[in-house]
Structure 1
Amino acid sequence: MRIPFLDGFLASMLIAIAIALLMPQLGASGGVLHLDTLTHIGVALVFLLSGAGLSTERLKAGAANWRLHLFVQLSTFAVFPLVGLLVNLSVGHWLPRELMLGFFYLCALPSTVSSSIAMTAMARGNIAGAVFNATLSSLIGMLLTPLYVSLFLSAASHGAPLLDQFIKIGEQLLLPFVVGQCLRPWIGDWITRNKPHVGLVDRAVIVMIVFNSFCDATRAGVWTQYGAGPLLITALLTGALLAFVLTLTHFIATRLRFAVDDEIAAVFCGSKKSLAAGAPMAALIFGSGGALGLIMLPIMIYHQLQLITCSVIARRYARRPAEIGEQAAHSA
């Protein structure tokens, strides 16, 4: 299974950022392309297609392994946010507020769906468990991510009404997802057959959000205000975060004597963060404006780092003798 990193998607994001730096008026909110409106429509379409493409049979196949599920969800929604809080408390007063908000937002996001499953499959891990946990994480994230962000902002005296955030998430994400599930009997097979083309919709919407947010940030003078510092700081923080979580999830999974295939699903699902969910939710939670580009920097960089790093780890797992995974699975 091919892992999409350093491909057309990354190139598209880099081109969008370059254009945003040179011609911010083109994609800014209220500009000639009206991207702020188009992205709202695109986000709803993405989650409708996600709901229609979700196979309940595959979810049921992985539902029984409660130790794996508890491990992944605690890593995603307890360990990550705790790390985000500790980083903010320790170095947050030295760094731009929007950047630290973006770092905590990264920590509060759900796990990825497609790449977690792809990495687990490449490594010959528990694919059913990965499907269940990635999907469960996405659903939990619709509630916990805005809640965590609201509590973080309230503690910093910049709180936004939590009910308003939940209403936006419900209207833009949850409702289209539910409608998609209802439409699955009629369009589910078509989505499965055309999965590569459907995936282009997700990527196009993410690129639009990135373009819109960076145009707004450039027009607001964010990059001239902070210079190259935010990019370097974000790369260092997100790289350290990824290394820490990968090490921690692997260490705990082995100490809990997980079977190798469960360990693989635990490491990949428990260490990843979703740009596909993070970009739309950021636009809904924080709104359009100059700060959104800086807020989204951590998840954009983390997304690429996790794909590159985890693909290397997946290949190492895949090289293990087949009998090791089988023996471990029988002994669990």
Structure 2
Amino acid sequence: MKLGKLDPFIFAIVLAVLVAYYFPAWGSRQSEVPLEKLASLGVSLIFFFYGLKLSPEKVKSGLKNWRLHVLVQSSVFLLFPLIVLLFHPLVYHGLNKQVWLAFLFMAALPSTVSSSVVMVSIAKGNVPAAIFNASISGLIGIVLTPLWMGLFLEQNTGDFNLADVYLKLLTEILLPVLIGLGLHRFFHVYVQKYGAYLSLFDKSVILLIIYISFVHSFEDKVFESVDIPDLLLIYAAVLVLFFLVYFLIGFAARKLGFDTEDKITAQFCGTKKSLVHGTVFSKILFPASMPLGILLLPLMLFHASQIFIIGILASRLASRKTKDG
């Protein structure tokens, strides 16, 4: 079995965290460099280009396979959060509460677009359905992710206001998406032509947000309470959550009588969580008093794990498909 190379973006994330630790000056709250404003502008541009990529015709045609779509979106926005909610009675104040909120945040996020489609394509799954689900998931997440987090952030922080959150989401995310969608027919050719550059831009903005978030977390010394055993426990929980959802989706797909292609798409798209949306939403959803470094930690571990594990699974499924003809 031949495995693909590990995504260089994972190494870039690790590098961004190291740079935040050793060179925090630019991202510091006292810095005169307007990195926060640049990050906010970058976020709006990411979703503007996201809207340009969305094809209204493909969205309409994708509605036909509705059972697959319901399974994927239910897994992404219901199954994940409900599993994390089972552990809420075990959570107390302090670090445990923050880590649990970080897991709920990760669980409430939409699926990721690019890696879902790429991995489904490698495994020879239902690519059109993957494109539809990955694309529509981001739009659903604009509504559902804040609702999930609002249930608990309002209880734990005094400065969380769901109306303010939706106003920010409307102006910084949804409005750019709608503008991009409206301009799709004029500029989608250029988006396809320069897709590699746009992907590089997306990742650069994400790395900038990660850098700023971890600079602030290091300044506030939030990681001093996280030792190696805690980190290993968090990572173990990330892996358990991933495999639990993966096998539950597979079980549901078999019960629904899905063919192999639809089952692959359901499992690959239904287990993904978007680092792009996570870093972007974290800037909007969480009050300034909350440690974004801790809140992004499970998501970054999950992101690296999902790419590695799904990459292996996609390679195995592709080789099996070839042998079976």
Whether the TM-score (by the shorter chain) exceeds 0.5 is yes
What SS is found at the alignment partner of 1:125? coil
Equivalent AA in structure 2 for residue 270 of structure 1 = G
For the 8 Å contact 1:29–1:35, the answer to whether it is kept is no
Render the CA deviation track for 1:234-256: whole Å, top value 9, x for unaligned: 21111111111111111221122
Asked whether the 8 Å contact 1:213–1:290 carries over to 2, the reply is no
State the alpha-carbon separation in 2 of the partners of residues 310 and 70 from structure 1: 21
Aligned residue identity for 1:220: D
Aligned to 1:85: 85
Read off the aligned partner of 2:78 and give its amino acid letter.
A
Query: SS at the partner of 2:87?
Result: helix
Once residues 159 and 27 of structure 1 are traced to their aligned partners in structure 2, the CA distance between those partners, rounded to angstroms, is 23
Instruction: Determine if the alignment matches structure 1 residue 187 to structure 2 residue 184.
Output: no
Alignment of 1:240-251 (within 5 A): 240-251=240-251
Distance (Å, rounded) in 2 between the aligned partners of 1:53 and 1:248: 31
**Structure 2 counterparts to residues 86-125 of structure 1, below 5 A:** 86-91=86-91, 95-125=95-125
Aligned to 1:269: 269
CA drift of 1:37 comes to 1.2
> What are the equivalent positions in structure 2 for 1:53-92 lying under 5 Å apart?
53-91=53-91
Partner of 1:329: none
Deviation of the 1:95 alpha carbon: 4.5
How far the C-alpha of 1:97 sits from its partner, in A, is 2.2
| Mapped partners of 2:202, 2:23: distance in 1 | 24
Q: Is the 8 A contact 1:213 1:289 kept in 2?
A: no
- The 5 A counterparts of 1:140-289 are 140-156=140-156, 160-288=160-288
Q: CA deviation at 1:159?
A: 6.8
Cα displacement (A) at 1:56: 2.5
The answer on whether the counterparts of 2:111 and 2:271 sit within 8 Å (CA) in structure 1 is yes
Counterpart-to-counterpart distance in 2, 1:13 and 1:4: 19
- Offset of 1:150 from its aligned partner? 0.5
> 1:283 & 1:82 partners in 2: Cα distance?
24
Residue 101 of structure 1: how far off its partner (Å): 1.0
Aligned residue pairs total: 323
Structure 2 counterpart of 1:203, one-letter code: K
Decide whether the 8 Å contact of 2:250 with 2:267 is kept in 1. yes
- SS, match of residue 63 in structure 2: coil
Q: State the partner residue of 1:18.
A: 18
For the residue of structure 2 that corresponds to 1:320, the secondary structure is helix
Point out 4+ residue stretches in structure 1 off by more than 4 angstroms.
91-95, 155-159, 287-290, 322-325
Given the superposition, is the C-alpha separation of residues 159 and 205 from structure 1 closer, same or farther in structure 2, using an over 3 Å criterion?
same
**How has the CA–CA distance of structure 1 residues 60 and 242 changed in structure 2, closer, same or farther, with 3 Å as cutoff?**
same
Letter in 1 for 2:272: K
TM-score (norm: length of structure 2): 0.93
Q: Cα RMSD between the aligned structures?
A: 2.2
Deviates more, 1:41-50 or 1:30-39: 30-39
Distance 1:254 1:241 in 2: 20
Alpha-carbon distance in 2 for matches of 1:259, 1:134: 19
Structure 1 unaligned segments of length 5 or more: list them: 326-332
- Partner Cα distance (2:285, 2:252) in 1: 33
Cα offset for 1:317? 1.6
- Aligned CA distance change for structure 1 residues 92 and 240 (closer, same or farther; 3 Å): farther
Residues 94 and 35 of structure 1, relative CA distance in 2, 3 Å threshold:
closer
Deviation by residue 1:73-104 (Cα, 9 ceiling, x = unmatched): 11111111101111232355684322211111
CA positional deviation for 1:54: 1.4
* Matched ranges for 1:32-71 at <5 A: 32-71=32-71
Cα distance, 1:28 vs. partner? 2.4
Task: State the shift of 1:320 in Å.
Answer: 2.7
Where 1:101 maps in the other structure, the secondary structure is: helix
Q: Under a length normalisation based on structure 1, what TM-score does the superposition of the two structures give?
A: 0.91
Residue 38 of structure 1, CA deviation: 1.0
**Residues 234-292 of structure 1, C-alpha deviations (whole Å, 9 max, x = no match):** 21111111111111111221122101111011001111111111110111111445601
Q: CA-to-partner distance for each residue in 1:283-328, whole Å, 9 max, x for gaps?
A: 1111445601110111111001000001111112212346979xxx
Same amino acid, percent of matched pairs: 36
